Amino acid sequence: MSPFLAYEDKGVDTSATPLVLVHGHPFDRTMWTPQLEEFSRERRVVAPDLRGYGASPVVPGITPLADFAADIEALLDELKVDTFVLAGLSMGGQIAMECYDRFGDRVRGLVLADTFPTPETDEGRAWRNAMADRLLREGMRGYADEVLEKMVAPYAAPEVRAHVHRMMTATPPEGAAAALRGRAERPDYRPVLSRVTVPALVVVGTDDEYTPVADAEAMHALLPDSTLHVIDHAAHMPNLERPAEFNAALGAFLRAVDARPA
Per-residue pLDDT tens for 133-148?
999 999 999 999 999 9
At 64 the pLDDT is 97
The proportion of the chain whose per-residue pLDDT surpasses 70, expressed as a percent, equals 99
What's the confidence (pLDDT) of residue 198? Answer: 98
2 part of a folded domain: no
Could you tell me what percent of the chain has a pLDDT over 90?
A: 95
| Span 155-161, average pLDDT | 97
- Indicate whether 187 pLDDT > 50: yes
Query: How confident is the model at residue 13, as a pLDDT?
Result: 78
Please give the backbone phi and psi of residue 21, each rounded to the nearest 5 degrees, phi first.
-115, 125
- Kindly state whether residue 226 falls inside one of the protein's structural domains: yes
Model confidence over 10-66: pLDDT tens digits? 998 789 999 999 999 999 999 999 999 999 999 999 999 999 999 999 999 999 999
Sheet architecture: strand order including 45-48:
7-10, 45-48, 19-22, 84-89, 107-113, 200-205, 226-231
Q: What is the pTM of this model?
A: 0.97
CATH number (domain holding residue 15): 3.40.50.1820
Yes or no: say if 156 and 235 are a contact pair by the CB < 8 Å rule. yes
Work out the mean pLDDT of the chain and round it to a whole number.
Answer: 97
Domain count for the chain, please give it. 1
Dihedral sign from CA coordinates of 35, 36, 42, 48? positive
Q: Does residue 1 lie in a domain region? A: no
Instruction: Provide the pLDDT for residue 3.
Output: 65
Q: Which residues contact 189 (CB under 8 A, 6 or more apart)?
A: 94, 97, 98, 101, 117, 118, 119
pLDDT in the model for residue 262: 75
CB 18 within 8 A of CB 50: no
Residue (of 110, 109, 108, 111) closest to 262 by Cα position:
108
Q: CA angle, 95 as apex, 14 and 209 as ends, to 5°?
A: 110
- Indicate the pLDDT class of residue 93, thresholds 50, 70 and 90: very high
Mean of the pLDDT values across residues 166-192?
98
Q: How confident is the model at residue 210 (pLDDT cuts 50, 70, 90)?
A: very high
Q: Is the dihedral of CA 54, 4, 39, 22 positive or negative?
A: positive
Of 64, 67, 115, 124, the C-alpha closest to 91 is 115
Closest to 6 (Cα-Cα) out of 47, 67, 45:
47
Q: Which domain holds residue 143?
A: 7-259
Q: Does 106 map to a domain?
A: yes
Structural domain contains residue 220: yes
| 248, part of any domain | yes
**HEC string of 185-196?**
CCCCCHHHHHCC
For the chain, the C-alpha Rg in angstroms (whole number) is: 17
The pLDDT score that the predictor gives to residue 1 is 45
CA distance 222 to 224: 6
pLDDT at position 98 over 90: yes
- The whole-number average pLDDT for the span 227-243 is 98
In a domain, residue 235? The reply is yes
pLDDT at 2 over 90: no
Burial of 58 (0-12, 13-18, 19+ CB in 10 A): middle
